[in-house]
Amino acid sequence: MTHIDFAYGRDATVQTNAKSDPAGEIHPCSACTVRTLTVCAALEAEELRRLAEILQTTRFDAGHTVFGEGEPAETLYNVTSGTVKVYKLLPDGRRQITGFLLPGDFFGLSVNDSYAYTAETVTPVSLCRFPRRRMEALLDEFPKMQRRLFSMASNELAAAQDQMLLLGRKTAKEKICSFLLLLSQRASRRGHKTNPVHVPMSRADIADYLGLTTETVSRTFTQLKTSRAISLLEGNKVQIQDMDDLLELAEGA
């Protein structure tokens, strides 16, 4: 069981803002707990209103494909709750997960009008959907938002480089430790506590993210558990014994 705080959202699977916002009710955005983390952080009240006009909110169950690699990219997404994975496949089925997206993360950017990867929900998820065309128009109108989006892309680029270092040069144990630290840091940025880390994804997903097999991921977890570096708790939580020790394990120092 994964526990998730739904920032907002109703039972309907898709709803336009107009429909979901009866007269007098406060707009969902103003209650959005991840707004400060994402592109919306840069916006004034009026700009936020304009953005809200083009946005839809959606919810998906776990294991749902949001879009597939190669499909025309007509929508941008923002995660408001839950976890999404994005991955690329080789013809024979080998898979590389290039990222896990948490509340506040943005996805759906495209290169030549089609998605370069598949996006699939790991847990139940709520998303904001922005039609690409209208979003682009808004970006032209609000340079602050353009700038914010650029800065988010820069951060992602830096994270991608860290991941390349991990994939190309780290051992299995270093990979797992780095992964746990990453989850911890990301939780921290979202105002959750850093230590018992919530790990909502399966061993297979972790393996495909770290360039390993499920067996190796499993073995490495038990090895870390045996050496008292971590302990596994109820509800997919991992307790890190000593943050600094784990950091050393993550860098092979």
Binding region for a copy of itself (CB under 8 A): 88, 90-92, 94-96, 98, 109-111, 116-117, 139-140, 143, 146-147, 149-150, 153-158, 160-165, 167-170, 208, 210-211, 251-253
Answer yes or no: are the C-beta atoms of 118 and 67 closer than 8 Å: yes
Query: Taking Cα atoms as reference points, which of 171, 251, 183 lies closest to residue 216?
Result: 171
| Chosen from a copy of itself, DNA, none, partner binding at 213 (C-beta under 5 to 8 Å by type) | DNA
Q: Quick one: which segment of 30-38, 108-116, 118-126, 211-219 binds DNA (CB under 7 A)?
A: 211-219
Tokens (6 digits) for 79? 């995660």
| Chosen from a copy of itself, DNA, none, partner binding at 26 (C-beta under 5 to 8 Å by type) | none
Compare residues 112 and 226 and give the one whose CB is closer to a copy of itself: 112
We find the least distance from the C-beta atom of residue 125 to a copy of itself, in angstroms, to be 20
Q: Quick one: which segment of 19-27, 121-129, 138-146, 210-218 binds DNA (CB under 7 A)?
A: 210-218
> For residue 9, which phi and psi values (nearest 5 degrees)?
135, 150
Residue 120 host element (H or E)? strand 118-121
> For residue 18, which phi and psi values (nearest 5 degrees)?
-55, -50
Answer yes or no: are the C-beta atoms of 119 and 75 closer than 8 Å: no
Answer yes or no: are the C-beta atoms of 42 and 144 closer than 8 Å: yes
3-class state of residue 222 by DSSP: helix
Euclidean distance between CA atoms 128 and 117, whole angstroms: 19
| Chosen from a copy of itself, DNA, none, partner binding at 222 (C-beta under 5 to 8 Å by type) | DNA
Answer yes or no: are the C-beta atoms of 215 and 206 closer than 8 Å: no
Q: What is the DSSP letter of 208?
A: H
| Chosen from DNA, a copy of itself, none, partner binding at 98 (C-beta under 5 to 8 Å by type) | a copy of itself
Compare residues 24 and 93 and give the one whose CB is closer to DNA: 93
Binding mask 123-162 for DNA (x = CB under 7 A): ----------------------------------------
Compare residues 3 and 133 and give the one whose CB is closer to a copy of itself: 133
| Chosen from a copy of itself, DNA, none, partner binding at 218 (C-beta under 5 to 8 Å by type) | DNA
Euclidean distance between CA atoms 44 and 65, whole angstroms: 33
We find the least distance from the C-beta atom of residue 163 to a copy of itself, in angstroms, to be 6
61 is a contact residue toward DNA (CB under 7 A): no
Euclidean distance between CA atoms 203 and 189, whole angstroms: 24
Contact set with DNA (CB under 7 A) = 1, 171-173, 202-204, 211-219, 221-222, 232
